[in-house]
Amino acid sequence: MEHFDLSLVNWSRAQFALTAMYHWVFVPLTLGLAFIIAFMETLYVKTGDEEWKRITKFWMTLFGINFAIGVATGIILEFEFGTNWSNYSWFVGDIFGAPLAIEGIMAFFMESTFIAVMFFGWNKVSKKFHLVSTWLVAVGANLSALWILVANGWMQYPAGMYFNPDTARNEMHNFWEVLFSPVAINKFLHTITSGYVLAAIFVIGVSAWYLLKGRNILLAKRSIIVAAVFGLVTSIFLALTGDGSAYQVAQKQPMKLAAMEGLYEGQEGAPLVVVGALTPGKQHDDDKDPYIFRIQIPKMLSFLGYRSGDAFVPGVKDIVEGGYTYVDKNGVEKVALSAEQKIERGKIAIKALADYTAAKDANDTAAVAYYRAILNDNFEYFGYGYLNNPKSIIPNVPLTFYSFHIMVALGFLFIGFFMLILYLVYFRQFKINKWILRLSILMIPLAYIASQTGWIVAEVGRQPWVIQDILPTVAAVSRIDSSAVQITFFLFFTIFTALLIAELRIMFKQIKIGPKEGGK
Amino acid sequence: MVDTTYIFLQHYWWFIISLLGALLVFLLFVQGGQTLIYTLGKTELERTMLINALGRKWEFTFTTLVTFGGAFFASFPLFYSTSFGGAYWVWMAILFCFIVQAISYEFRSKPNNFLGQRTYEVFLYINGLLGTILLGTAVATFFTGSMFSVDKMNLTNTSNPVISSWETPWHGLEAALNLHNLALGLTVFFLARTLAILYFMNHVNHNAIFERAKKHLLYNALPFVVLFLVFTIWLMLRDGFAVNPADGTVFMAKYKYLHNFIQMPVVLIVFLVGVLLVLWGIAKSLISNYTKGIWFTGAGTVLAVLALLLIAGWNNTAYYPSTFNLQHSLTIFNSSSSKFTLTVMSFVSLLIPFVVAYIWYAWKSINVKQIDEEEMKSESHVY
């Protein structure tokens, strides 16, 4: 690995992380607010109450501000696959490109067409057509998320493809396996529902501010009701899909699961750490206790990961050293190889590809068949061949561990929060304490933190892989100067930060201004 | 063994890419218009009308660009990795132009917008100026070539497995030093402005703006036509990058692009009809108070650009030539996705007419009348 330009790899990762995280500041609100607005407008069309229209239009203004910047930060991500991850683009473009193209054709146009009707059509089209347009914006936005998340899910668990040595790339052979891969489905559902929860919290938080200020009372109360119901339902669903995602991680990315839990030594009946702190500097091969302290639920990790309280959960050390038994994706029980053995097998696969090509050029059919068989036998470890050090298969454990625990804790906090709000609304006739209103505002940044940490778990936890087991991040980059990426990194940083500040200022101002005149 | 279905699919997807590229060039009228706000709008209200006329269309251009990129990735991934990863600076510059555009409409007139209204207008101007010129320049390299190498077997080099390399340290900036490339870049720029003027004449109901637009039509259409002729005649005369269908080798062929037109007469007819429509729309708008010029010039633009892109990739032509090593040039055969993926995507592409239909319907329903001063004052959502 020392041959790789690690500075280039790290700056490329930093740039992708920066742009993805900025994008993800704006997208979840778009995903959720679109539906909340659609509910509100439905109430308007059903009841004919002008106040609902005013409420809809107010949230729509905030939606528009947020949407624009989501678009601005989104375009760069698509093109970065080419500009910064060119090897990746070739190696998996045959599979990865299709969802991206479908996203453009099916989802983006739907979103951008009907968003125009939504904003400019109030006095030009019928009420019903307008309402349908608003719903289509919501559907379009969420469909956009579907395809990119399918692509991401595929990177975590490559399904529906095979390696073609003649073209030296992975090729799709089953579209449905890619689309309906359990990882992709869970990822999609978990990610979009996190957006719904965030949007619900956003609406409640802003409304709480109005209640604190004693203005726009009707708007605030009605918005809180819609958002709290939506939030409670979706946050429960969020927990369920989170469980589904963790189960998939346990099956397909055991190293990620070990990192999420800070589990170094595997065990049967592994407990789930609810709260804990990790020992700094812990290595997989030293004897330090991984935790400074922890509160845990016995057997819970085994149960969540394998649906059996006594199942064996491999730790970081086990996965590096191998030797434990596991059930592979075909349901066959196997003994895990050590990282060193996997690296060796990977190198055999890569060499077989070179020999295969040479044999093909020499028209030596016997040798072609021979090397092809070797390649096929070892392909599942292909990506390991680019690694040299067994330790390099370990992701950043503390970052993954803390991100995961923050995300989960906040997720449960949100469920409790929605329950509390609904309780106060229905059983206490909206008599909400000032400190609860203040707490509601505080929930907004917490929702963003939960959302970002979720992506950190997903993306940091799967390192060193860009495609699980097949292509490590170090082998995916473009051949450009590290300094070039540094320059664009800081350009993106500057411009996105400036745009974020602008967005926040405009948003705060619009909230202060509130809805147009005429309300109660 | 010749797999005709696969070859058909590769041609089909080059057609889709070309069509998306052609639509994109037409839709760049939004960008062209962004460079004319202060030329055509003399009061704040006039400028607001112009910006709102564009603001309801910008997302189409943007979405088409994104879809163009996504479709290119899906159908010809080797182009994606080679060009984007190699000509880094050009593509990054283009992206920056579009990032600053995306927020400018929404943020421009909002109170407390941090950078000030003027800054967002400058963003729009930069997007219109550089976005068009750079896109045109980058696309011109389809005909003029670039310095890159591709070796798929680099994958087996475990310490440096990158398959595509740019062989000059300029990483794409060198394209702007080629006069033929620049000719196309500037052609696109003036075309975008010409289209924008025709769009304003059609869509903004304001006498002073109409008169100014008409005056500026000549100033922009003239350089456009001259530059277009320079680019096209040069293209017809230059050597092209031909592919030997038997073994896939690439060689230089005299008058390749002219021959492509002659050997594909339908494409030539599409091109000529396109050019005539473009000129007709401009000419009629110049000599009378005609407001429908945008339809002719717009449709003509789509046809002409489509034909130009088709001669870059069809008829055994390398659409992304390498001047570093001819044999590394990208063709629709050696750079495409697998047959299976192209088939899946072809089914998806059947949705395109449906998408076009709902776009048309939705737009018709909210564009029943032109933009006027009255609407700018009464509309609740104004940029």
Q: Is the pLDDT of residue A7 over 50?
A: yes
**A213: Cβ contacts below 8 Å, ≥ 6 apart:** none
Confidence of residue A507 (pLDDT cuts 50, 70, 90): very high
Sequence spans of domains, chain A: 258-335, 339-390
More confident residue, A248 or A97: A248
Question: Burial of B221 by CB count in 10 Å (0-12 exposed, 13-18 middle, 19+ buried)?
Answer: buried
Whole-angstrom distance, CA of residue A182 vs CA of residue A98: 18
One-letter amino acid for residue A213 of the chain? K
Entry field: residues in chain B? 383
CB contact at 8 A, A291 and A343? no
Question: What pLDDT is attached to residue A517?
Answer: 63
Residues of B in contact with A112 (CB under 8 A): 59-60, 62-63
Q: Is pLDDT of B159 > 90?
A: no
- Taking the C-alpha atoms of residue B164 and residue A86, their distance in angstroms, rounded to an integer, is 7
What is the per-residue DSSP string for A23-87?
HHHHHHHHHHHHHHHHHHHHHHHHH--HHHHHHHHHHHHHHHHHHHHHHHHHHHHHHHHHHT-HH
Q: Which residue of A has its CA nearest to B94?
A: A76
Gap between the Cα atoms of A2 and A21, Å rounded:
29
Joined together, the tokens standing for residue B146 give: 């670039």
Taking the C-alpha atoms of residue A469 and residue A92, their distance in angstroms, rounded to an integer, is 13
Residue A126 is given by DSSP the state: -
In this structure, the number of other CB atoms found within 10 A of the CB of residue A309 comes to 15
Q: Would you state the pLDDT for residue A519?
A: 47
State both tokens at B376: 């700018």
**Percent over 70 (pLDDT), chain A:** 99
- Find the residue in B nearest to A347 (Cα): B158
pLDDT level of residue A221 (50, 70, 90 thresholds): very high
Span of A93-107, A264-278, A449-463, B7-21 with lowest mean pLDDT = A93-107
- pLDDT, tens digit (0-9, with 9 covering 90-100), for B207-263: 999 999 999 999 999 999 999 999 999 999 999 999 999 999 999 999 999 999 999
Cα gap B85→A94, rounded to integer Å: 17
Compute the average pLDDT of residues A479-494.
Answer: 94
Contact between A90 and B115 using a beta-carbon 8 Å cutoff: no
Domain that holds residue B238: 4-378
Tell whether the model's pLDDT for residue A266 goes beyond 80.
yes
Instruction: Tell me the mean pLDDT in the region A304-329.
Output: 91
Interface check for A81 against chain B (CB to CB < 8 A): the answer is yes
Q: For residues B26-58, b (16+ Cβ closer than 10 Å) or e, as one string? A: bbbbbbbbbbbbebbbeeeebbbbbbbbbbbbb
Probe site for chain B from A90, A125, A379, A392 (most B CB atoms < 10 A): A90
Question: Among B88, B159, B163, whose Cβ lies nearest the Cβ of A87?
Answer: B163
Alpha helix segments (H runs only) across B238-338:
256-263, 265-287, 293-313
User: DSSP of B137-172, one letter per residue?
Assistant: HHHHHHHH-B-EEE-GGGGG-TT----EEESSTTTT
Higher pLDDT, residue A179 or A2: A179
Report helix, strand or coil for B302.
helix
Collapse the DSSP code of A106 into the 3-class scheme (helix H, G, I; strand E, B; otherwise coil) and give the result.
helix
Tell if the CB–CB gap between B95 and A109 is shorter than 8 Å.
no
- Could you tell me the sign of the dihedral formed by the alpha carbons of A64, A68, A69, A75, in that order? positive
pLDDT band at B377 (very low <50, low <70, confident <90, very high): confident
Query: Residues with Cβ < 8 Å from A494, sequence gap 6 or more?
Result: none
Interface of A with B in 318-357 (CB under 8 A): 347, 350-351, 353-354, 357
Could you identify the residue written with the tokens 């093909």?
Answer: A360
The most distant pair of C-alpha atoms in chain A lies apart, rounded to whole Å, by 84
End-to-end CA distance of chain A: 66
Q: Is B71 at the interface with chain A, CB within 8 A?
A: yes
Quick check: helix, strand or coil at residue A272? strand
Give pLDDT tens digits for B64-77: 999 999 999 999 99
What's the number of domains chain B is made of?
1
The verdict on A490 touching B (C-beta cutoff 8 Å) is no
Instruction: Check whether B80 has a pLDDT greater than 80.
Output: yes
Smallest CA–CA separation between A194 and chain B, in Å? 25
- Contact indicator for A145, A191 with CB cutoff of 8 Å: yes
DSSP state of B290: -
Cα A103 from Cα A152, distance rounded (Å): 13
- Chain A residues with CB inside 8 Å of B340's CB? 171-173
In angstroms, the CA A245 to CA A326 distance is: 19
Q: What number is the average pLDDT over the span A478-492? A: 94
Asked if the Cβ–Cβ distance from A509 to B111 is below 8 Å, we say yes
Average pLDDT taken over every residue of chain A: 92
Residue A5 has pLDDT above 90, yes or no: no
Chains A–B, number of C-beta pairs less than 8 Å apart: 284
pLDDT at A520: 44
Angle, helix A217-252 to helix A397-427, in steps of 10 degrees = 140
List the one residue out of A81, A31, A71, A26 whose CA is nearest residue B62.
A71
d(CA B124, CA B132): 12
Identity of the residue in B85, B155, B341 whose CB atom sits nearest the CB atom of A83: B85
Band (pLDDT 50/70/90 cuts) for residue A1 is: very low
Contact residues, chain B, for A501 at CB < 8 Å: 114
Spatial separation of the C-alpha atoms in residues B309 and A73, rounded to whole Å: 29
CA distances from B315 to B260, B274, B332 (A): 6, 20, 10
Measure the CA–CA gap between A208 and A195, rounded to whole angstroms: 20
Chain segment B165-185, per-residue pLDDT in tens: 999 999 999 998 899 999 999
Residue B383 lies in a domain: no
CA distance A165 to chain B (A): 10
Helices (H) and strands (E) in chain B, counts: 17, 4
* Whole-Å CA distances, B259 to A43, B24, B120, B192, B239: 63, 26, 46, 29, 10
Out of A69, A122, A129, the one facing B365 most closely (by C-beta) is A129
Number of H helices, E strands in chain A: 16, 10
pLDDT at B268 over 90: yes
Q: Above 90 in pLDDT, residue B364?
A: no
Q: Which residue of A has its CA nearest to B101?
A: A72
Cα A435 from chain centroid (whole Å): 33
Answer yes or no: do A90 and B359 touch at CB < 8 A.
Answer: no
First to last CA, chain B: 58
Task: Find out whether A103 and B104 touch, Cβ atoms under 8 Å.
Answer: no
Nearest to residue A485, comparing CAs of A85, A4, A47, A22? A85
d(CA A53, CA A359): 71
- Does the pLDDT value for residue A2 go beyond 50? no
- pLDDT over threshold 50, residue A384: yes
CA–CA gap between residue A83 and residue A485 (Å, rounded): 10
Omega before residue A515 within 30° of 0, cis = no
Residue B17 lies in a domain: yes
**Stretch A163-174: mean pLDDT:** 92
Any idea which of A353-362, A430-439, A496-505 has the lowest mean pLDDT?
A430-439
Query: Which of A105, A124, A495 is facing B99, going by the closest CB pair?
Result: A495
